[in-house]
Chain A
Amino acid sequence: MRISAARRATIERASVSLLVVLSAAMILLGKADQVVLQSLRSYVMDGAAPALDVLSRPAAALATAAHRVLGFMTVYSDNVRLAEENERLLGWQQVALRLSAENAQLRDLTKLVPEPRISFVTARVVADSGGAYVRTLMIDAGRDNGVARGQAAMTGEGLVGRVSEVGARAARILLITDLNSRVPVAVDGTRQRAILAGDNSARPSLRYVDAGGGIKIGDRIVTSGQGGVFPPGLPVGVVVSVDSEAPQVEPYAALTRLDYLRVVDYGLAEALPNPSTVAGRGGKRADTQASGPPPLRR
């Protein structure tokens, strides 16, 4: 079919304009209706997961190799440090054994019902946001592996985030540093409660802190269990600055160097209502916060 160059240019311009309008509509749709967006995301995630998995392995292997090479330079000092730490931890092991025995005795005395078994899924990080104004990760475990919305994602060091979308083979984790992340926390050992709010920076801040609270640098922050979103006591981070309006927390987990993480099922998955059910109630705007503490399973 012969089309003149001018005609072709007009068609090109028209199609580009149409697609720009379509993209803008998509942005607005994404903001307005979460349900369609989430199902679309899950579908695309599942489709791309195998490709992303393959592509991420060379980078991961390179990173490990670089880490090993750099590790050679610090072998001696690492050795000294680790020996000291080992000695210290052996002491703690004795304390832990003693406390564990005491705990068992007391539980027996009070006839306390044992806590339900915690199950977890280990998954690999196959994609992150690439600096797209969100802090999320994609892992290669989904519904087929037992991952469900609302579950906590952790490393050995601390809390990483929460499962926000699940596909059959992949899932998306919202990190605690994301702009939309709000985690109810408390200062370890006290009753000081606050909300850990992410702001897309490396250090989320504590909001809604009691004015006379006296949060100090070095305070350990753990989840408070309020709202039933996470179980209490999960390590989150340490306070590193109290100068600006809100105290800043350095997360324990190394969020920029995650390779594997664990998705833990504490039996609180039903805490995050689906946007569709929330929207159904009186036509309110869908959000992903828990609407109230659900009954904790004992």
Chain B
Amino acid sequence: MVNVLPIATTVVAALLSIEPLRIGGFTALTPAFTLMAAYYWTLYRPDLLPALSLFIIGVIQDLLSGGLPGATAIMLLLVRAIVSGHRHYLVNQPFPFIWAGFTLLTGGAMLFLWALHSLLAGNVLELREPILRAVLTISMFPVASLLLGRTQRAMIGAG
């Protein structure tokens, strides 16, 4: 039963990332919570967050946010591919290294989405928003990591 927690937390992350934040002034920018969840679980329990569930969650998030259907799915799958390849040395590192890895990944992911949308739009889009979103996501990762760590410990305790 607790084995669905990784999928459940990622689904909640996807729904939270389209919540209207209403921070006055800025255009509605939310941290990429789904990216955080995908990174964390692929690192520690990749067996419980398979590629298929990442695909489905990504597509659902795209459909709900009104964005390009499949863009988030591709991003999450690429995250899984990259993290899976480097898991073996990353998984035992202390938190600052995990955070550093996430920083690189987020930068790459935001850049990838920007390039994808620019290509499909046919002209070079502004970089300001993706950069802001990347900074927001990276700075919120420790909190997400803490919460997901609690969840993982609860899973170990119960299982």
Chain A interfacial positions (CB closer than 8 Å to B): 12-13, 15-16, 19-20, 22-27, 29-31, 37, 40-41, 44-45, 48, 51-52, 55-56, 59-60, 63, 125-138, 172, 177, 179, 200-202, 254, 256-259
Q: From B71-79, B95-103, B139-147, B150-158, give the one contacting chain A.
A: B71-79
Which applies to chain A's interface (DSSP): helix, strand, loop or mixed? helix
Within the complex, which residue of A56, A63, A129 is in contact with B28, where a contact is CB–CB below 8 Å?
A129
Separation in Å of the B55 CB from the closest CB of chain A? 4
Q: How far is the CA of A57 from the CA of B73 in the complex (A)?
A: 27
Closest to B63 in A: A44
Inter-chain contact B28/A131, CB cutoff 8 Å: yes
| Chain A residues positioned under 8 Å from B50 (CB to CB) | 15
B1: CB under 8 A from chain A?
Answer: no
Inter-chain contact B27/A131, CB cutoff 8 Å: yes
- Beta-carbon contacts under 8 Å, B15-73 to A: 15-30, 50-52, 54-55, 58-60, 62-73
13 sampled A-B residue pairs with Cβ under 8 A: A12-B51, A23-B71, A26-B70, A27-B116, A52-B64, A59-B19, A60-B22, A63-B21, A127-B65, A128-B19, A130-B29, A132-B65, A200-B129
Separation in Å of the A131 CB from the closest CB of chain B? 4
B135: CB under 8 A from chain A?
Answer: no
| Chain A residues positioned under 8 Å from B65 (CB to CB) | 127-130, 132, 134, 136
CB-based closest 4 A-B pairs: A132-B67, A26-B70, A136-B66, A23-B70
| Chain B residues positioned under 8 Å from A52 (CB to CB) | 15, 18-19, 64
Residue of A26, A29, A52, A257 contacting most chain B CB atoms (<10 Å): A26
Beyond contacts A19-B55, A258-B20: 19 other A-B pairs, Cβ-Cβ < 8 A, are: A20-B78, A20-B81, A26-B59, A26-B70, A30-B69, A52-B19, A55-B12, A55-B16, A59-B21, A63-B21, A125-B20, A128-B28, A132-B66, A133-B117, A134-B65, A137-B20, A138-B18, A202-B27, A259-B20
Given the known inter-chain contacts A127-B19, A256-B23, A256-B24, please indicate yes or no for A134 contacting B66, CB distance below 8 A. Answer: yes
Q: How many residues of B contact A (CB 8 A)?
A: 52
Q: How far is the CA of A37 from the CA of B67 in the complex (A)?
A: 11
Within the complex, which residue of B66, B68, B69, B70 is in contact with A172, where a contact is CB–CB below 8 Å?
B66
Within the complex, which residue of B60, B71, B73 is in contact with A48, where a contact is CB–CB below 8 Å?
B60
Q: How far is the CA of A31 from the CA of B30 in the complex (A)?
A: 25
| Chain B residues positioned under 8 Å from A25 (CB to CB) | 70
Q: How far is the CA of A141 from the CA of B55 in the complex (A)?
A: 28
Closest to B59 in A: A26
Within the complex, which residue of A23, A131, A177, A256 is in contact with B22, where a contact is CB–CB below 8 Å?
A256
| Chain B residues positioned under 8 Å from A131 (CB to CB) | 27-30, 129, 133
| Chain A residues positioned under 8 Å from B16 (CB to CB) | 55
Inter-chain contact B77/A130, CB cutoff 8 Å: no
Separation in Å of the B145 CB from the closest CB of chain A? 20
